[in-house]
Chains A and B, each alone.
Chain A
Amino acid sequence: MNGRKLTLFTVFCAAFLSLCSYTYGGERINVVTTTTDLADIVKVVGGDKIKVVSLSTGSQDIHSVDPRPSMVIQLKKADMLVKMGMDLDMWVDGLISAARNPRVIYSAKGYVDASIGVERLEVPKGKIDASMGDIHIYGNPHYQTNPANAIPITKNVLDGLCRIAPRDSEYFKHNRDEYLKKLEEKMVIWDREMAKFRGSNIVTYHNSWPYFANRFGLNIVDHIEPKPGIPPSPAHLSKLINVMRAKKVRVILVEPYFPLKGCQIIAEKTGAKILIFPPSVGGVKGIDTFLELFEYNVNQLVKALSE
C-alpha cells in the first residue's frame, strides 16, 4: 500500500468511526444503573424521556458482579449512571475508569449515588477490619429492602435527571409524585398485613434485611453466615439450631443466589420454613418492578408466619 492509499484508508476509517459515534446521539437520555431496582425506579421517574439498562440482573449477588467489557460500552454511551453507593457496587468503579466517559465520572452531573439521604443502619463505630467479615464502612448497604427508601432514591434520580435535562424537570417531578402516591398506598396495605407479625423472630442467610425488618418490626435473631460473607461452619449451624429452637424462629429468608444446603439441614431440625426472598427486581421470575418485589415478599412472609 503506498502512502497515498494509506492516508486515504486512514481518512476512510476515521470517517467511518465518526459516523458510528454519531449514531450514539438520540432523543432520549441514556441511563445505566448498577441494579435492577434502580433501573425500575429510573424508568418510572424518567418515563419516555429516558432509556435505561441495568448492569446486573436481579438474581446476581450485587456484592460480587463480574465486570465485563460489554458493560464498559454501556457506560461509554451513558448520560447518567445511578449506583447503589455505600461501597456495595464498588465493581462499577473500574468500569467507569475504563469507559472514559466524562458525563458519568465521580462528581459529574450524570453521576448519581442513590444512597444520599437514606437513613443508614448499622454504621460501624471504631476500628473495622476483615476479622468482622465483609463490613461496609458506611453502614449496611441493602437499604433498597425498605420500600420507604424509594423516597430518597427517587429524589436522587430526579435530581440527576433534572441536572441533565432541566427542561423536562416538571415531567420528571410529576412522574415521581405519581409513583410515590402509589407507593404510599401500597405501604399502607403492606404495613397493615405485617402488623400482626410485629416482633416475630426470623433468621436470614446474609445480613441483607435489617431495613426490611426495621420497617415491619421483625426481629432478626441471627444469620446463616456467621459473619457477612463468611460461609457457615457446622459448629455455627449447630449453635444456630439451638438459638432458633429457643426463640421459636419459623422462617429463614434466603436470597436466590445462596446455597440451600445448610438452610435445609436447619429447617429439618427446627421446623422452620425456607423462603426464597429476592432482594432485587427480577430475583425470581415474574417480579419485574420494585412494587411487585415487595408485594411478592410481603405476601410470602405473611403466608409463612400465618401457618
Chain B
Amino acid sequence: MRRYLIGFLSIFMLYGGQVLAQEIGSISATEEMTAPAAPQGMRGVPINIPDISVTGDIVGKVTDNKDDEDRNTVHIREIELALQGFIYPKMRADVFLAMHRHGDHVEAEICEAYVSFLNVLDGLGLQVGKPHINFGKINKVHQHHRSYVDQPQVMTEFFGDHGLVGEGGSLSYLMPLPFFAQFDLGAWRIEGHHHEHEGEESETAQVKDVNDGTITVAVHKEHEHKHKEFGLRDEVYTTRLWLSFPLTNESELELGMSGAKGRGAHYKEHMDNAEVYGVDVTYKLWPATQNRLIFQGEWLKLIRELPIGTLKRTGFYSLLNYKVDKYWDVGIRYDNSENAWPDKEENESVSGILTKHLTETTCLRAQYKCNSHGKDEAYLQIAFGIGPHSHPLE
C-alpha cells in the first residue's frame, strides 16, 4: 500500500513540477483570460471530413528460388485506405484498412485503427486500439514508407510478415529532459495461429538448452512445413525507450532499446513463452540541403522458453542509405538472422537498393538481394499514394 502511495506521490511531484515550470515561464491565468482568441488558421481540407488517402504497393519479383510463390510475378502486395483526423481537441483517430496478399489470395483486414489521446498529462500520451506496436525502429513504419522493398529478415523471423501488431493500449511519456527521450509501455492481445495436424507424425531436432548444451526435441512435420511464421501472441507486453541527440545542426543520433514478452505464435503445440529484446541505432547526416546520409542498425534477441529448455536466437540488419538529390537515393542493407525454430538456420543477405522519388508518397524502386543460400532475388516496386497521408514521427 505504502509503495503505491509513494508511486502516486512521485507522479504527482513530476506533474506538479511541470505545472510550476509552465507558470513561472509564462503568465498568470488572469492575464490569459483577457487575451483575444487565437485564429484557427488554414490547414488540410477545409471541410469537416477526415484526410482520406489510398496507398498501394505493387511488386515484381524475380528469383532463382523455385519454392517461392511470388517467383517471376508482378503482384499487388498491399492496398491501404487511410482515414485520419481529429475527433476531439487533443484526440485523433487513425484508421488504416488494408488488402494484403497472403500467398495466393488477398485478405482484407484492419491494418491499424487507433485513437490517440495526445496529452493525458503533460508529456503523457495514450494510444488505444490496434496500432503497429512501438517496438524497435522499423516495426511502426509501414512497408510502403520504408526505404527498401522487403522486410529485414530478422523482423520476419521473429515477428512474422506483418511485424508486431496487436490490439490493446500503450502509454507514451515524453520525458522532461533537455534531449528527446520517450518511454513507452504497452499491453496487447494478439491472435495466435490456428492449425491442425493431420497426424502425430513427428521428427526430432537439436535444440540448445538453458546451459547452451544440446538436447533432442520432437518437431511436428506438418507444422514445420506449413506454418513457418513465428511471432508473439496472446497477452503481449512491450516497452521502448527512444532517445535522440542532435550532434550538430546537420546530424542527429537516435538510440533505442525495446523489449516484448508474450507467448509463442504456436503456443498450443509448443507451450512456449517468448521474449524479444532489441537495440537500435540511427545516425542521420544532412551534408547539404538535398543530401542525406542514414545509417541504421537494429539487433534483436529472441528467447523462447520451451518445456524442454531455452532456445536463443539473434539477428540484425544494417542499412546505409544516401539521398543523392531531391529525387534519388541509393542504399545497401546487410541482413543476418537466425530463425525462431528448433532446427537452427542462419541466413545472411546483402541488398542493393535504388529509389526514384516522384512525390512524398510515390516512388519507383529496384532492389537486388544476394542470399547466402545462393538463391538471389530481384525486385521492382511501385509504391504510390493518393491524397493526404501521414504517419506519426518515426
A contact residues vs B (CB 8 Å cutoff): 3, 6-7, 10-11, 13-15, 17-27, 29-30, 57, 59-61, 64, 66-70, 72-73, 76, 79, 83, 85-87, 90, 93-95, 97-103, 105-113, 115-116, 130, 134, 137-138, 156, 159-160, 162-167, 229, 231, 256-259
Complex-state Cα separation, A107 to B24, whole angstroms: 23
6 contacts between A and B (CB under 8 A): A7-B2, A11-B6, A11-B13, A19-B17, A25-B21, A61-B326
* A166 with B21: CB separation less than 8 A: no
**Contact flag A93-B21 (CB < 8 Å), given A20-B178, A109-B35:** no
Across-interface contacts of A27 in B (CB, < 8 A): 25
B interface with A by C-beta (< 8 Å): 2-3, 6-7, 9-11, 13-14, 16-18, 20-27, 31-32, 34-46, 86, 89-90, 92, 116, 118-119, 122-125, 174-180, 182, 242, 244-246, 249, 252, 254, 284, 286, 289-290, 292, 325-327, 359-360, 386, 390-393
Interfacial chain B residues near A10, Cβ < 8 Å: 6-7, 10
Distance, CA A167 to CA B360, complexed state (A): 44
4 tightest A-B CB contacts, nearest first: A113-B41, A18-B17, A25-B24, A21-B176
Cβ A25 vs Cβ B23 within 8 A: yes
- Which of B36, B90, B177 contacts A17 (CB under 8 A)? B177
A132, chain B: closest CB distance, angstroms: 12
Q: Inter-chain contact count A-B, CB under 8 Å?
A: 212
> Are B27 and A20 in contact, with the CB atoms below 8 A?
no
Could you tell me if A163 and B14 are in contact, using CB atoms closer than 8 angstroms? no
Which one of B10, B11, B118, B289 contacts A256 once the chains associate, using CB atoms below 8 Å? B289
Asked if residues B42 and A22 are in contact (CB atoms below 8 Å), the reply is no
Contact partner of B123 (CB less than 8 A), chosen from A61, A86, A100, is: A100
B319 to chain A, nearest CB (A): 16
Given contacts A87-B44, A97-B116, contact A69 B252 (CB under 8 A): yes
When distances are taken between beta carbons in the complex, the residues of chain B under 8 Å from A70 are: 179-180, 244-246, 252
Residues of A within 8 A of B393 (CB): 67, 69, 72, 94-95, 97-98
Partner of A163 from B36, B290, B390 at Cβ < 8 Å: B36
Closest-CB distance, B137 to chain A (whole angstroms): 12
Q: How far is the CB of B115 from chain A (nearest CB, A)?
A: 13
Given contacts A14-B14, A61-B289, A164-B26, A24 and B39 within 8 Å (CB-CB):
no
The answer to whether A26 touches B27, judged by C-beta atoms less than 8 angstroms apart, is no
Q: Contact at B6–A24, with CB atoms within 8 Å? A: no
Given contacts A87-B44, A162-B35, contact A21 B327 (CB under 8 A): no
Shortest Cβ distance from A6 into B: residue: B3
Are A93 and B390 in contact, CB atoms less than 8 angstroms apart? yes
Complex alpha-carbon distance, A18 and B116, angstroms: 25
Please indicate the chain B residues that have their CB under 8 angstroms from the CB of A30 in the complex: 25
Known: A14-B13, A18-B13, A107-B40. A137 touches B46 (CB 8 A): yes
Q: Is the CB–CB distance between B35 and A100 below 8 Å?
A: no
How many angstroms from the CA of A17 to the CA of B124 in the assembled complex?
A: 14
Given A69-B254, A100-B125, A102-B122, 15 additional A-B pairs, CB 8 A: A15-B10, A17-B14, A20-B177, A25-B24, A26-B25, A64-B360, A68-B252, A76-B174, A79-B26, A90-B43, A94-B393, A95-B393, A107-B40, A165-B31, A259-B290
